[in-house]
Structure 1
Amino acid sequence: MDLSLTSLLPLVAIASLSLAAFFYTCRAAGSKVPPGTLGWPLIGETVEFALSGHRGEPEKFINDRMNKYKSEVFKTSLMGEKMAVFCCTTGHKFLFANESKILTSWWPSSATKICLFPLDHDVKDTSKLDPFHRNPFLPEFLKPEALQQYVGVMDSMAKQHLESEWAPHKQVTVFPLSKNFTFALACRLFMSVEDPEHVKKFSEPFALVTAGLFSLPLNLPGTTFSRGVKGGVIIRQELLNIIRHRKAELEEKNERVGRDILSRMLLAKDENGKHISEKEIANEIIGLLIASHDTASTAITNVVNYLAEFPYIYNEVYKEQMEIAKSKAQGELLNWEDLQKMKYSWNVARETLRLAPPGQGAFREAATDFTYAGFTIPKGWKTYWTVHSTHKNPKYFPDPEKFDPSRFEGNGPAPYTFVPFGGGPRMCPGKEYARLEILVFMHNIVRMFKWEKLIPGLRLIYAPAPIPEKGLPIRLHPLHD
C-alpha cells in the first residue's frame, strides 16, 4: 500500500523523538547526577517539603536527605521542577561564587503568574521578578549612605504606628500589625504613598499575593493561588494608576531628579536610551515591595516573640536603647550614628534571623551543565540553597536551639554559615534597609512597652516565612520613660 508524505510525518516524529531520547539517555549515562529521588509524578516531593514547614521543622526535610544520601547535594523535585539542593557551607560558597556565571535567576511559575505583567519580550524570563535586573541604580538607593536620610522617617512612622495601633489596646496580635507598619513604610519610601486609606487599598490584595507566591499553581475557585492571582490583578492596576499619575507630574514640573525609587525609574533610560515601560516599572515595584515587606515584618514579629520569652535579654535591649534615648533632645529623631550604637540589639535581631529566618533560601536555574562534588547538574535543572543546612547545624552553632545573641560578638559565625540575606553578587540588596527598619522598631517598642505572650509555647509555622501560631497575640504593659 502506498504511503503519502503526510501519513509518514507521525512516524518520522516518533523516530526523531526516540533518537533524541536515546542520545539524551546516553549523555546522561555518562554523567552522575546527585543522589536522591524525584518523588511522585508532577508534584515530586513538594508535599513533604511543605508539610515539614507547616510542622515548624523545615530543616527536617533537608537533614533527613543529607543523612540518608550522605551527601551535601541531593536531587529532588519541587513545584514540578527537577532540583539540586545544595547544603552546608561548601554548597553556599559554590553557588554564591558562581552567580551569573553558570546560574540564572529563576522563580516558580506561581510567583510570576501572580505578580508580573506579561511583557512583549522575555516573557518567560523569570528574572523579571528581580527588581534589580535592569536598574543598577536601585541597589545604590538601598546602600547605607543613601538610606541615612530615611532614618528619621522610619523613627517617626514607628512611633506613630505604635501610638495609634498598639497603645490604645491591652492586647494585640503582632504579625498583622508588623505587616501594616512595614508595608506602609515601603509605600512611603518607594512611592511616596502616605495616605492610610491608599496604603490599605494596596495592603489587602498584597496579602493575597504574598500568600500565593509559592502555592501550587491551581487556578481553581477558593485556592490560595486563585486568590493570589486576583490580588495581583488589583495590585498591578493600582500601580499603573500611580505610575501614570507620577509620570504626568514629572513631565508637568520638568523634574530631572527622582525623589523616590518610582521617580528614578521613570526618569531612567535603558542601554538603548529608551525609558523603561510602565509595565516593567510596575513589575519591579512589586518585586521591591515583596523583598522589603516580608523580611522585616517576619523578623519584627519574631524579635517581639523572643524578647517576651527571655526577659533578661529584653532588659539588656532596653538598657541599650534607653542610653541612646537619653542622649537625644526632647522630640529629636534617631539618626545614623544612633543606629551604630545598637550593637547588642542587632545581635538579638541576628540571632532571631538565625533561628527564624524570613527567607528559606533561593532558587536559581543552571544555564549550562556544571559539576559539583563529583556530580553533574544538567542545564535547565533548578538549584536551591537553604539556610536550614547551616543555621541549626551543631557543627557551626553549638547548642543550636538555644537563643544566644553572644554568638555574634567578636568575629561572629564562620563564613557561609549565617546566610539570612544570601551571599555573593546577589546578596539581598535590601539587607541594610531591613537592618534599619528592625532596629528603629526595637528602639521604639521597648521604650513604650513590656509584654507577655497570651499563649505560651506557640510553634513557628512556615507559610512560607516563619510566624508564631495565631500571629503572636500578646498582652501589653505600657511604660513611661
Structure 2
Amino acid sequence: MWEYLKAGRLGAPENFFLERMANYSPDVFRTKLLGQDVAVFCGPAGNKLLFTNENKYVGSWLPKYLYKLVIFAPGTSKEVIEKETLDIRSNPLPGFLKPEALKEYIHIMDAMAKDHLEEHWAPYKEVKVFLLAKTYSFSFGCNLLMSVKDSKDIARMYGPFKEMLSGLSSLPINFPGTPFNRAVKASRIISEEVMAVVKQRRREIVENRETAIRTDILGKLLEGPEDDGLVCKRIVAFLLGSYNSVSVAITFTISHIAQYPHVYERVFQGMNI
C-alpha cells in the first residue's frame, strides 16, 4: 500500500505496476492496493478480458469504504450497502447508454463544447487541457444527467465533488483533518445537492408542471419504480463514472492531435465540411 502511495506522490504511479509486471508476470499478478487484495490484468489481452466479460466473469467493484464515501451515508449498515449496490448493478439502464439513444444528446454536447471553447480556450495562447477537460466533463455531466446548467449551481457542486474525489486514493482514516475525512464531508454535500434536484423534479412531475418534461437521465430514472434515494445514488455514481473517463479521453485526443499536424489538418477540414 505504501509503495503505491509513494509512487503516486512521486508522479509515477505506473511504476508500482511496471515493477510487479517485471517481477511476477507481464499478464496478471496479485497484489494489495489501499489494503485490498486485488488481481491486476495487464496489457490489451487483460483489458479485453475485463471489458468483454463484465457481469459474466467479472463485475465492477470498489472497496466497501469507498461505497460508503461516494454513495452511502456514513454509518449505513453492511446489509443496506450490499442490497442497494446489487440494485444499482442489476439495472444499469443500457438503453440510455446505447449509441442510438445518445444521438438525442449530440446537439447538447456540440453546443456545450462550443461555449466551453469560446470561454476557456479561445482567449488564451496556452491552456492546461486536463484541468479544463475536467471542468467541462463535470459541467456536461450535470447538464446531461440533471439538466443543471446554471454556472453558479455547477460551481457550488464542483468544489465538494473534487474534494470527494481526492479521498478516493487516500488512506481510509476518518479522523478530522485527514483527506478521507474531508472527502466524507464533501460526499454528504454532493448527496444533498443532488437529492435537492431529484426532489424538485419529483414535485414538478407530481404537479404536472411543464418544466418536468425533460430528456435528461434523471427524468428517465424518475419514470421507473425506484425511490428518490436510489435515484440520487445512481446520479452520483454516473457523475463519478463519467468524470475522469471523459476528461482523460479528451486530454489524450488533444495531445495526439497536437503531436501529429497532419491529423490536426484532417480534423480541421472535417469540421469545416
How many residues are treated as equivalent by the alignment? 270
- Quick one: distance in 1 between partners of 2:182 and 2:90? 29
1:311-460 equivalence runs, <5 A: 313=260, 315-327=261-273
- Quick one: distance in 2 between partners of 1:131 and 1:283? 11
Give the direction of change, closer, same or farther, for the CA distance of 1:162–1:107 in structure 2 (3 Å limit).
Answer: same
Partner SS for 1:75: strand
- Quick one: distance in 2 between partners of 1:70 and 1:241? 49
Which has the higher Rg, Structure 1 or Structure 2? Answer: 1
- Quick one: distance in 2 between partners of 1:60 and 1:88? 15
The code of the aligned residue for 2:148 comes to V
The Cα shift of 1:287 comes to: 0.8
Structure with higher helix content: 2
| 8 Å Cα contact 2:257-2:264 kept in structure 1 | no
| 8 Å Cα contact 1:131-1:287 kept in structure 2 | no
Corresponding position: 1:200 with 2:155: yes
The Cα shift of 1:320 comes to: 1.9
Give the direction of change, closer, same or farther, for the CA distance of 1:212–1:305 in structure 2 (3 Å limit).
Answer: same
For structure 1, list consecutive stretches of 5 or more residues without a partner in the other structure: 1-45, 270-275, 328-481
Equivalent residue number for residue 105 of structure 2: 150
TM-score (normalised: structure 2): 0.85
TM-score (normalised: structure 1): 0.50
- Counterpart of 1:84 (choices 39, 44, 51) is 39
Bigger relative contact order, structure 1 or 2 (CA pairs below 8 A, ≥6 apart): 1
The Cα shift of 1:259 comes to: 1.9
For structure 2, list consecutive stretches of 5 or more residues without a partner in the other structure: none
- Counterpart of 2:215 (choices 238, 256, 259) is 259
- Quick one: distance in 2 between partners of 1:80 and 1:217? 9
- Quick one: distance in 2 between partners of 1:180 and 1:88? 30
| 8 Å Cα contact 1:141-1:147 kept in structure 2 | yes
- Counterpart of 1:296 (choices 246, 253, 259) is 246
Give the direction of change, closer, same or farther, for the CA distance of 1:135–1:70 in structure 2 (3 Å limit).
Answer: closer
Give the direction of change, closer, same or farther, for the CA distance of 1:258–1:92 in structure 2 (3 Å limit).
Answer: same
Partner SS for 2:62: coil
Give the direction of change, closer, same or farther, for the CA distance of 1:61–1:126 in structure 2 (3 Å limit).
Answer: farther
Greater shift, 69-78 or 276-285, is seen at: 69-78
- Counterpart of 1:60 (choices 4, 10, 15) is 15
- Quick one: distance in 1 between partners of 2:257 and 2:195? 41
Q: How large is the Cα RMSD of the aligned pairs? A: 2.9
- Quick one: distance in 1 between partners of 2:233 and 2:213? 22
Residues 193-236 of structure 1 show CA distances to partners (whole Å, capped at 9, x for unaligned) of 11111111111111111121232111223322122111101100
Q: Percent identity?
A: 38
Partner SS for 1:123: helix
- Quick one: distance in 2 between partners of 1:325 and 1:97? 33
1:45-194 equivalence runs, <5 A: 46-70=1-25, 72-88=27-43, 91-92=46-47, 95=50, 99-101=54-56, 103-118=58-73, 122-125=79-82, 128=85, 133-136=89-92, 138-194=93-149
The code of the aligned residue for 1:174 comes to V
